[in-house]
Amino acid sequence: MSTREGPVALITGGAGFVGTNLAARLLSRGQRVLIFDNLSRPGTERNARWLLEHHGERAELEIADVLDCNAVQAAVRRAREVYHLAAQAAVTTSLAAPLRDFEVNARGTLNVLEAVRAQAPPPPLIYTSTNKVYGALPDVQLIRTPSRYTPEDPLLAANGIDESRPLDFHSPYGCSKGAADQYVRDYGRCFGLSTVVLRMSCIYGPHQLGNEDQGWVAHFMSEARYGRPITICGDGRQVRDVLFVDDLVAALELTMHSIHRLAGKVFNLGGGPGNTVSLIELTQLLAGELGLTTGLQHAPWRRGDQRYYVTNFSKLAAATGWSPQVRLEQGLKRLHAWLAAAGPVRELAARRAVLQ
């Protein structure tokens, strides 16, 4: 742990995709940020280096795991606010290693909550949950078109899925994130913590080094850039609403600004009905907007895959005034420009000790 003193904005998973963008925004506003990350995911060392090089003394890096209670407690003692983003983020990984998935997502979150509860006063906390807590949505009746699934219910098609949707954890990932989601809510009720849960849909943008398990927009674009075939699980008509990461960071900032008023609440967060795309349609957009063409190959459906999920973010909009500002076509061009400048992922040769 750094010996520097003073309050910080603590971001667990701070060298990940969302964490890096959030840290950069807070640092650019003159805040001090503690980036808490175990650097286990490919690309995180490069993200950490970029943050440290661009923001100097205001950025601190703690290479540690949320399963390390002592490290978590020491970090939280310095925090004026906590953004808990650290997670095992892939459904497929959770199916292969459910115990590890539970440890990171559920136990890790409980470690953070306990560390927050121990402080006087406890710092406010935002937790990034997932739309997977709503399960596969098997009851949503869909119309199958050549390129996408569309709900039969016109109100659902127009507005998306809101927070009144019953929880239905599906897959170990859905269970672990859902358990953490509910712990964060309940620590607000039982212990009076200022906590907010944001159930996110598909986020994309710079610093996303996606793969076939997680970060599918960046993964599709990267594969197309290098002329590699894209593997689509299922028939490719699955629809998601996508949200550019700058809009997500704006939502995090607005929520933290009003967190004492919003404490204990849960919000769905995504691009909404105005930013929907199917897997097939994304490949068509990559070809039409960016000239990136690639072959397609199909694999079996993944367990618990939602054929249709679109966020109704009206509750968050009413509470904070937030709405997405970056349209899909614009966001894809910005992600493509970043990927072209960043080049292939190559972890830094420098040892982690140098990063500290």
CA distances in angstroms from 31 to 26, 153, 222, listed in the order given: 6, 46, 33
29 within 8 A of 250, measured Cβ to Cβ: no
Please give the Cα distance from 312 to 69 (Å, whole number). Answer: 36
Taken in order 251, 256, 262, 268, the sign of the CA dihedral is: positive
How do strand 125-130 and strand 79-84 relate by DSSP bridges? parallel
| Distance, CA of 295 to CA of 105 (rounded, Å) | 35
> Is the distance from CB of 57 to CB of 242 less than 8 angstroms?
no
The question of whether 204 is a catalytic residue gets the answer: no
Is 254 within 8 Å of 317 (Cβ atoms)? no
Beta bridge partners of 244: 204
Distance CA 62, CA 318 (A): 36
What is the number of other CB atoms lying within 10 angstroms of the CB of residue 346?
A: 10
What are the helix (H) ranges across 160-244? 171-191, 216-225
Can you read off the two tokens belonging to residue 154? 């016109």
User: Residues 231, 297: contact at Cβ < 8 Å?
Assistant: yes
Tokens 């003073």 belong to which residue? 6
The single residue of 83, 127, 134, 173 carrying the catalytic annotation is: 173
- What is the helix (H) or strand (E) element at residue 343, kind and residue range? none
CB 302 within 8 A of CB 143: no
β-partners of residue 353 are none
Q: Which tokens in the block code for residue 65?
A: 């795991």
Give me the count of residues in the chain: 356
Active site residues: 173
